[in-house]
Amino acid sequence: MNIEVQGLTRGFGRATAVHDVELSVDRGVFGLLGPNGAGKTTLLRVLATVIPPSSGSVRLLGRDPAAHRERREIRRRLGYLPQQLGYYPNFTVFEFVEYFALLKEIPPARASRAAARAVERVHLGDRARAKLRTLSGGMLRRVGIAQAIVNDPGLLLLDEPTAGLDPEQRMEFRALLREIGESATVVVSTHLVEDVGIACDRVALMYDGRLVFHGSPGELTDRGHGHTVGDAPLERGYAAVLAQARA
Amino acid sequence: MRRLLAIEVRHSAMLPMLPVLAGLLLLSPIARHLTPVALWTSRSNDVQSTVQAIGPFVAGTAAWMAYRERRRAVSDLLVCTPYPPLARRLATWAAVAVWAALCYLVNVGVVFAITAGQATWGRPVLWPVLSGLTSVVACTMLGFVAGKALPGRLTAPLVAIGTLVAMAAMMEWALGGEWLGRLSPIYPSIGESPFYRVDPSLSQAQVLCYLGVAAAAVGLLALAGRRDTRAARLRGGALAAAGLVLAAAGTGLALRSPVGDFGHFDRSARPASAPVPVAYTPVCAGSPLPICVHPAFRRELAALEAALSPVTAPLAGTPAMPSGVAQSRHDGSLLPFEFGDYQLRGDTIVPYQALTILRTRFALALVTAPGTGPAKAGAAQRAVAAFLLRQAGVTPEPGLLPPSTVDTSAAQRLAALDASGRHAWFAAHATALRAGTLTLADLP
């Protein structure tokens, strides 16, 4: 298992953002669904080793992120796209991705090649020399994805990756996710149930800091039988699980 | 690290600031100071003092760059990379330091290139240059640490203003006699007199001090890195301690340095210290009054001759006529100038006031015994000096030769004599006049 989480709780002061989460995820694309404030971003930040858990244990790529040496190993094989992508506006697309390639300790001799490949994979090859400040929101999102995949990660964590992408780009992106998911664990946090249905092998649903569903997209769809809220079968399953959790 | 540094160098905030900094340097006093006569020692001090323009600027820029991660909300992205946070921050700082050092060194190169075409003796003194360079680097490090410790949009301008105020305050302390002020990067750290060997001890003390401060700041940066490993923080603590020791050593050396107020030897505080004279062959020009100066002042000979020769015109062929004029360390047979051995510079004799002072002192020196200051000159001596100046078309400097109706009338009596009568009077009375035994009544 590339992600093993047991009893994970993360609080900020008196508020608990993630409460007693148990999760095991192996290779493939894993969708993390849930309404705003459900704790998805906090869970992803813990998995990205940005913040430590308040309690519980986490193992990523078979290593313990609490130990410095192992955390460093994990980070070498980690890709992360935060919900709010910060960037340096004067960097070019290529420089930004190369910068992160170097920070991910890809040897300098290979960093340029890796950056060029990542930029091509998100279809920004023709804008590689463009300054980030000149890009549209969707293009910036793709730059964020490029920096996340530049090190061919074993664990890729994407927080709202398709926000700002047009339908064609979303289709291309889902194809990219499936390709990466063949050799790595990809966790995609999203509001877009449609993306999960098409791209993910497994899906979890969070509500109020807790994991209220964990299964395949088909199983989530099954939970929606007889439920009337939602346009698509998967949406009805999503709504049904949420309604049950709220109840 | 090299590749990362290359990217940081290309995107350092220093880059767009360079034209502004170049403008600041052009407007700084040093640009106006580049007169045709130059001493390598003073130019070396001058380039060090450009830290006054560069230091605050680069400190503020470093603080701005330190705040970049938070300003651009890139922290989460950076935190989850394996690269050591301290090394990443140092790369960002180093990019600022590289540009700052380059800017300083280009300025040094320009000033020295101009000086090379002007100076007639000596060579560049590198210790003040090194002192300036290390202080620029220390400014960037301190600014960076401040930007990390107090992140905010106002930090950068506040750091720049704070650095400027700190430098000025230290300079004020120095001028007030506080030895600690001599550690100010803008304090001239070597003596400028070409008559004595350069004592680099204060420059060296400054270099040690700035290196220590920079090292301590790096150590603090590591020590404060919450995301760094314990080992890295421990190393940071050790580096901070070593830096403080180095800075303390530099401060101690500054305290012991005999180089005092603006490069003068502070003999009162350190009686055992004495400047070491350098051997040189004076360069001379002019007839009938040969003027000899230190070779560093070779370019001023013509101006000096034009200024002094007319004053001696009535004395030609009399015992009162000096065999020559020598700057400072004279060889007995020549008339010594007692008005400072290194202030005799183009930019001090060209202005009217300074030229008048020079001529008045010279006229008084002609009619008094060696070593007699202007204040000790007798009435007859003052009257003759006033005559010598007036016949050369010079109004005496009132501070040295105050206007006096008695002196003036005596001078007018001398002026009224015909040339042969005056020549005869000077031939007969020159020795007594210089000895100070003549009174106004003895004048013709």
Which of A149, A45, A137, A131 lies closest to A95 in space, CA to CA?
A: A131
Contact present, A163 and A100 (Cβ < 8 Å): no
Touching A: B residues 52-91, CB under 8 Å: 68, 72-83, 88
Is residue B293 very low, low, confident or very high in pLDDT (cuts 50, 70, 90)? confident
Separation in Å, CA of B85 to nearest CA in chain A: 10
Res A120: pLDDT: 95
The predicted complex's ipTM stands at: 0.90
Contact B121, B300 (CB under 8 A): no
Q: Is A50 in CB contact (< 8 Å) with chain B? A: yes
CB contact under 8 A, A73 and B81: no
Q: Does A158 touch chain B (CB under 8 A)?
A: no
Question: How does the average pLDDT of chain A come out, rounded?
Answer: 91
Question: Which chain B residue is nearest to residue A131, measuring alpha carbons?
Answer: B11
Q: Tell me whether residue B310 is exposed, middle or buried, using C-beta atoms within 10 angstroms of its C-beta: 0 to 12, 13 to 18, 19 or more.
A: middle
Q: Per the confidence metrics, is the pTM higher than 0.90?
A: no
Number of domains in chain A: 1
- Hey, are the CB atoms on A80 and B77 less than 8 Å from each other? yes
A133 to chain B, any CB pair closer than 8 A? The answer is no
Distance from CA of A227 to the nearest CA of B (A): 39
Question: Could B83 and A102 be called an inter-chain contact, meaning their C-beta atoms sit closer than 8 Å?
Answer: yes
Residue B347 pLDDT: 39
What's the number of CA atoms in the CB half-sphere (13 Å) around residue B129? 19
In a domain, A115, yes or no: yes
Dihedral-angle region of residue A106 (phi above 0 means left; psi in -120 to 50 means alpha; beta otherwise)? beta
In the structure, what pLDDT confidence band is assigned to residue B349 with cuts at 50, 70 and 90?
Answer: very low
B93 CA: distance to closest CA in chain A (Å)? 16
pLDDT tens, B62-114?
999 999 988 898 989 999 999 988 899 999 999 999 999 999 999 999 889 98
> Closest partner residue to A86 among B77, B80, B88, by Cβ?
B77
For position B217, what pLDDT does the model report?
Answer: 93
Nearest to B142 by CA among B195, B224, B63: B63
Average confidence (pLDDT) over B251-266? 70
H-run or E-run covering A174: helix A167-181
Percent of chain B with pLDDT over 90: 30
| Domain ranges, residue A101 | 82-152
What's A232's DSSP letter?
Answer: S
Strand segments (E) across A45-192: 55-60, 78-81, 155-159, 185-189
Contact A91, A99 (CB under 8 A): yes
- Residue in chain A closest to B232 (alpha carbons) equals A68
CB contact (8 A) between residue A49 and residue B80: yes
Q: Pick the most confident of A230-234, B137-141, B407-411.
A: B137-141
**Residue B2 in contact with partner chain A when CB distance is under 8 A:** yes
Q: What is the distance between the alpha carbons of residues B182 and B164, in angstroms, rounded to a whole number? A: 16
Q: What percent of chain A has pLDDT over 90?
A: 66
Which of B10, B74, B75 is nearest residue A87 as measured by Cβ atoms?
B74
Residue A141 lies in a domain: yes
3-class SS at A23? strand
Report CB contact under 8 Å: B82, A104. yes
What's the rounded Cα separation, in Å, for the pair B58 and B63? Answer: 9
Contact B72 A48 (CB under 8 A): no
Where does residue A16 fall: left (phi above 0), alpha (psi -120 to 50 degrees), or beta otherwise?
beta
CB atoms near residue A133 (< 10 Å): 11
Collapsed DSSP state (helix, strand, coil) of residue B301: helix
Q: Does B226 touch chain A (CB under 8 A)?
A: no
Residue A236 lies in a domain: no
Would you say residue A131 lies in a domain? Answer: yes
Q: Give yes or no for residue B265 having a pLDDT over 60.
A: no
- Residue of B2, B73, B83 lying closest to A84 (CB–CB): B73
User: Phi then psi for B396, rounded to 5 degrees?
Assistant: -60, 150
A85–chain B Cβ distance below 8 A for any pair: yes
Contact status, residue A182 vs residue A154, Cβ threshold 8 Å: no
Measured between beta carbons, which residues in chain B are less than 8 angstroms from residue A47? none
In this predicted structure, the answer to whether residue A90 has a pLDDT above a threshold of 80 is: yes
Question: Could you tell me which chain A residue has the CA closest to the CA of B84?
Answer: A103
Looking at residues B37-56, what average pLDDT do you find? 87
CB atoms inside a 10 Å sphere around CB B407: 23
Mean pLDDT value of segment B249-262: 77
The answer to whether the CB of B292 falls within 8 A of the CB of B327 is yes
Taking CB atoms and an 8 Å cutoff, what residues of chain A touch B76?
A: 45, 48, 50, 80, 82, 86
With an 8 Å Cβ cutoff, are A49 and B229 in contact? no
Q: Give the closest of A82, A91, A100 to B11, CB-based.
A: A91
Check CB contact of A100 with chain B, cutoff 8 Å. yes
Are B77 and A78 an interchain contact pair (Cβ–Cβ within 8 Å)? no
Please tell me the distance in Å from A79's CA to the nearest CA on chain B: 8
Q: Tell me the pLDDT tens digit for each residue of B358-374.
A: 788 888 888 888 767 67
B76 and A86: CB-CB below 8 Å?
Answer: yes
Q: What is the Cα Rg of chain B in Å?
A: 29
**pLDDT the model gives residue B266:** 57
Q: Is-contact A4 A59, C-beta < 8 A?
A: yes
Instruction: Give a yes or no: residue A91 inside a domain.
Output: yes
Q: Do A95 and B75 touch (CB under 8 A)?
A: no
Show contacts of A193-197: CB within 8 Å, 24+ apart.
A193/A33, A193/A232, A193/A234, A193/A235, A193/A238, A194/A232, A194/A234, A195/A31, A195/A162, A195/A170, A196/A31, A196/A33, A196/A234, A197/A221, A197/A232, A197/A234
Work out the minimum CA distance from A128 to partner chain B, whole angstroms: 15
Please measure the distance between the N-terminal and C-terminal CA atoms of chain A and give it in whole angstroms: 33
Kindly list the distances between the CA atom of residue A165 and the CA atoms of A89, A169, A196, in Å, as whole numbers in the listed order. Answer: 20, 6, 15
Q: What share of chain B is helix, strand, coil (3-state, %, to 5)?
A: 65, 5, 30
Q: Please indicate if any CB of chain A lies within 8 Å of the CB of B11.
A: yes
A229 domain-assigned: no
Task: Specify the range with the lowest mean pLDDT, choosing from A49-63, B159-173, B309-323.
Answer: B309-323
B10 to chain A: which residues are within 8 Å by CB?
Answer: 95
